[in-house]
Structure 1
Amino acid sequence: MADSYDYDLFTIGAGSGGTRASRIAATLGAKVAVAEEHRVGGTCVIRGCVPKKMLVYGAHFAEDLEDCAKFGWSIGEKRFDWARLRDNVLADVDRLNRAYTETLENNGVTIINERAVLTGPHEIALPSGRRVTARHILIATGARPHVPDCPGAELGITSNEAFHLDAIPRRVLIAGGGYIANEFAGIFNEFGSKVTIMTRGDQMLRSYDEALRDRLLHISMLKGIDFRFHAEFKGIERAGDALRVSMTSHEPIEVDCVMFATGRVPNTEGLGLEAAGVELGEKGEIKVDRFSRTNVEHIYAVGDVTDRVQLTPVAIREGQAFAETVFGNAPSAVDHTCIPAAVFSHPPLAGVGLTEKAARQKLGAVKVYQSDFRPMKNVLAGRNERALYKMVCDEADKIVGIHMIGPDAPEIMQAAAVAVKAGLSKRDFDATCAIHPTMAEELVLLR
């Protein structure tokens, strides 16, 4: 395709969205280059959901090894080796980095391991001194952890550094009330840390159904995790080998590690977007239309840098839709409604569609069906931990939301989300035969 330009597409950022967009564009005949200043794979693969899920798996063994005696297993002395798990996880990250790189190269995409900066509408400058031009430019630089502005903030870490710790901290304070905070709280707690979560609000996981949030809070507290609500940093300072954290509304606390999980900031600084005339939003995000196009006709953006929905599968869909729209002559826009999501806490929770509160605000009268039960495995293991499944329907019994907390909730939710997206009714679930004995059967037995 390229004639007066060096490339048909130049992508800045080789994370999930940028990689998918570049690969699909290349298969559609475009001459493509992608610039990545760090490692191919982006946040999800290198320092996010993939390595974090591996830590979640590792953490689950703490309770499994405790429960196994009730199932007839006799285990010798148990000992956890953080360094071994950490190194195995990082080795698999290396494998995935190579796999993503090979995928791009095998599809004819040129990878440029440099930071790219826009210097004009169609021009990109590289630190090596090289300048290239492109017919279309895609910004897919993702986001980074937000670090609160407080004295001593440099003494804390973010989720980026958590994967490289030399040892599991004996006491850790996690700031934030979102999914990253709750996931790492569960991980550290199962690995033996004394965990405290502090958040400036009065609740956590505010986008999830209230009943699920309350259930996770209750279970987390029973597992020994402490919570400090309405708390904001006053400062962090060294206290011998420890860190002393001062905060509003609470007494100071001494810990060995402070981890910030207070949101993520779009990576738009220093990209030359001003030179290209690209419009940004109040939070520094790139403003785009439903086809991921900026106010500059030939410049697009996908993924976390747009701050629409900061989820890897969403970035991948946006990248695919962009490539099909621009290079496949098949205009495609991503539907950002009814997106399923999960929190890999202990236990995990997941949801899709409207929460009960949101449904009542939007629809007025709604019907709510739920099952509050103790999973069979927990019964035999002697655990009192209970699961909760909720189905929210409109007056015509069309399902507008499903929410659940309990073992394997995210795995079950993936299939349930299809039903909600397709607009199925409670009657469709009632007419489906249960698979017994499973936890998922509760979805077709709700009353």
Structure 2
Amino acid sequence: MTLSFELTQSVAILGGGPGGYEAALAAAQLGAEVTLVERAGVGGSAVITDVVPSKSLIATADAAVAIAEAGDLGVQLFAKGAHGKPLKPEIAINLAAVNKRLLTLARQQSDDMRAALVEAGVRIITGHGRLDSDNAVVVSTGPGGTDFDRVEADTLVVSVGASPRQLPSAMPDGERILTWTQLYDMTALPEHLIVVGSGVTGAEFAGAYMNLGATVTLVSSRERVLPGEDPDAATVLEKVFTRGGMTVLSKSRAEKVERSGDGVVVTLTDGRTVEGSHCLMAVGSTPNTRGIGLEEAGVQMDASGHIRVNRVARTSVPNIYAAGDCTTFVPLASVASMQGRTAVFHALGDVVIPLDRRRITANIFTAPEIATVGWQEKDVAEAHINGIVHKLPLAANPRAKMMGVRDGFVKLIARQGSGTVIGGVIVAPRASELIYPIAIAVERRLTVDQVSRVFAVYPSLSGSITDAARAMHHVERADED
């Protein structure tokens, strides 16, 4: 519905990433005057240098693996040599062409998003913006900061994102020591890529370049990869990494990274060194909140520079909201989008459902993918909630057997007694798609019996979800519908 106001409300948005973009569309839909300030392009770093290009790269890596493993399904690729003798061709990766394609896709996505905003009536200003007071944004639009534009608004939304964290002892040079935004300048596959950091970003890129054919060493300061994720899922992924030839250095912290001729040397805190051709620093991110007037406006932030927000994305200043990776909330593009919409709905008086961390779906785009939602097994183990956990390996799924899938599982978490689904983990190809029915179950508070009564296609990977739900029938003692 469209709200009507006695006086037209105005909204100014600083940053055009997923949060700012969705905030602008929602505000325009509700009839507000909307101005969006963005320095790099609509979509922000998420679209231009992060999510879109990285997942496009991973899609290429997945295709390379599918071709390489096609022989397991009886598909054989041969070329005819001299005298008709069959030759088995090698898979070659043209990284320059791959990077050109993914950056083109990213720019096209940015252009499409910009066109959608223009069609919705959003005013877009290209430049560096900062808060001038609690109801205005000043934008530097000219070269060298010589031209300025001032935008006053009833509501301000800050969605400035974050940038790769840089360490003084391992400063990126854009050639051999790289952040994840600089990988796409490479014209050839790295001979030996050392990835420092085994969180989501490090694991995704390590797996992708391994599958593209590069030698990869992953330096993990923790006991296992993906230390913040489901341990069973991390174990599966580390097994896949090792089987694929990756060297995983657990409990190994990088002390410094240096150039060495046409390569790099990573020195670990225990004195060991690792030599490679390139090094990717995947050690977290830093919010882009410094020097944009937040402190002067009275907006509270953490020591890390992240903006403190509540469940409707509101800051400590009533008419200033914030969304995305620059906030203290979950750093996911989907969350940023929801925060942006929620902020505008709250500011303009529309219906608002406060964000709930326990209902957020997340995915790690490794091979296999790892998708999660809701409460996790560690929450049950640590007695944060009274729940039951059931894990079903994909090896038992007929569709997985047909596809040659060897790794993965479906894990459901249900509340003891009622059988209400409160969480889940899926490790599988396209887990990002398969997690959706579990997310619906968590959101709508469905029981395992209700989930088990939904027909799944036979054979299908999603059938493992209903199979897992059926196996948990004993945990539900609620009355039948």
- 1:86-165 alignment, distance < 5 Å: 86-127=99-140, 128-150=147-169, 152-154=171-173, 156-165=177-186
Aligned residue number for residue 400 of structure 1 = 422
* Contact 1:142 1:303 survives alignment (8 Å): yes
Matched residue count: 445
Q: CA separation of 1:204/1:251 partners in 2, compared to 1, >3 Å: closer, same or farther?
A: same
- Output the amino acid matched with 2:65: E
Cα distance in 2, alignment partners of residues 21 and 404 from structure 1: 31
Against the structure 1 CA distance between its residues 366 and 32, is the aligned structure 2 distance closer, same or farther, given a 3 Å change threshold?
Answer: closer
Question: How far does residue 141 in structure 1 lie from its aligned partner after superposition?
Answer: 0.3
1:43 aligns with 2:45: yes
TM-score, with structure 2 as normaliser: 0.86
Task: Report deviation, 1:418.
Answer: 0.8
Contact 2:391 2:412 in 1 (8 A): yes
1:46-85 aligned within 5 A? 46-76=48-78, 77=89, 78-85=91-98
Map residues 167-316 of structure 1 onto 2, 5 A cutoff.
Answer: 167-249=188-270, 251-316=272-337
In the TM superposition, residue 345 of structure 1 has moved relative to its aligned partner by: 0.6
Helix, strand or coil: the match of 1:190? helix
RMSD of aligned Cα (Å): 2.4
Q: What secondary structure does 1:304 align onto?
A: coil
Q: Distance in 2 between matches of 1:363 and 1:281?
A: 26
1:331 to 1:212, Cα distance in 2 relative to 1, 3 A: closer
Structure 2 residue identity aligned to 1:418: I
Do 1:243 and 1:254's aligned partners in 2 also have CA atoms closer than 8 Å?
yes
Question: Which amino acid letter does the alignment assign opposite residue 19 of structure 1?
Answer: Y
Q: Evaluate the alpha carbon distance shift between residue 368 and residue 278 of structure 1 in structure 2; reply closer, same or farther with a 3 A threshold.
A: closer
Q: CA deviation at 1:153?
A: 4.9
Query: What is the CA distance between 1:55 and its match in structure 2?
Result: 1.3
1:26-52 deviation per Cα after TM superposition (whole angstroms, max 9, x unaligned): 222211111111111112211222222
What SS class does the counterpart of residue 159 from structure 1 fall into? coil
Cα-to-partner distance string for 1:179-200 (whole Å, 9 max, x where unaligned): 1111111110011111111122
Alignment match, 1:440? 462
Q: Contact 1:153–1:236 at 8 Å: present in 2 too? A: no
> Larger deviation: 135-144 or 431-440?
431-440
Separation of aligned partners in 2, 1:179 and 1:401: 20
Q: Is the 8 A contact 1:373 1:386 kept in 2?
A: yes
Q: Which moved more, 1:79-88 or 1:63-72?
A: 63-72
SS of 2:47's equivalent in the other structure is helix
CA contact (8 A) 2:177 2:259 kept: no
Report what 2:26 is aligned to: 24
AA matched with 1:275: E
Q: Which stretch shifts more, 400-409 or 172-181?
A: 400-409
Q: Which has the higher mean CA deviation after the structures are superposed, 365-374 or 293-302?
A: 365-374
Does the Cα contact within 8 Å between 2:400 and 2:461 map onto a contact in 1? Answer: no
Q: Which residue of 1 aligns with 2:475?
A: none
Q: Does 1:410 align with 2:432?
A: yes
Deviation at 1:376, TM superposition (A): 5.3
Q: Secondary structure at the match of 2:137?
A: strand
Q: Separation in 2 of the partners of 1:108 and 1:199?
A: 47
Match of 1:337 in 2: 358
Quick one: distance in 2 between partners of 1:160 and 1:168? 16
Q: 1:431 aligned to 2:453?
A: yes
Q: Deviations over 1:153-195 (max 9, x none)?
A: 5452111112232222111111112111111111100111111
The residue identity in structure 1 corresponding to 2:48 is I
Contact preservation (8 Å) 2:94, 2:188: no
Question: What's the counterpart of residue 13 of structure 1?
Answer: 15
How far is 1:73 from its partner?
Answer: 3.3
Structure 1 distance, partners of 2:335, 2:207, is 25
Seen in structure 2, the aligned counterparts of structure 1 residues 2 and 115 have a Cα distance that, compared at 3 Å, is farther
Bigger Cα displacement from structure 2, 111-120 vs 126-135: 126-135
Matched residues in 2 for 1:404 and 1:285: separation? Answer: 30
Asked if structure 2 preserves the Cα contact closer than 8 Å seen for 1:68 and 1:381, the reply is no
1:319-398 matched pairs, under 5 angstroms: 319-363=340-384, 366-374=387-395, 379=401, 385-396=406-417, 397-398=419-420
Structure 2, unaligned runs of 5 or more:
79-88, 141-146, 472-481
TM-score by length of 1: 0.93
CA contact (8 A) 1:23 1:107 kept: yes
Q: Amino acid of the residue matched to residue 198 of structure 2? A: G
Report the CA distance shift for 1:417/1:332 in structure 2 as closer, same or farther (over 3 A): closer
- Aligned partner letter, 1:126: V
**Cα offset for 1:441?**
0.8
- Residues 130, 49 of structure 1: CA spacing in aligned structure 2 closer, same or farther, 3 A cutoff? closer
Deviations 1:189-213 (A, max 9, x none): 0111111111222233233221111
Deviation for aligned residue 1:381: 7.4
Q: Which has the higher contact order (CA 8 A, sep 6+)?
A: 1
Gaps (5+ residues) in structure 1?
none
Task: Sort the Cα spacing of 1:83 and 1:110 in 2 relative to 1 into closer, same or farther, 3 A.
Answer: same
Alignment CA distance shift 1:149-1:69 (3 Å): same
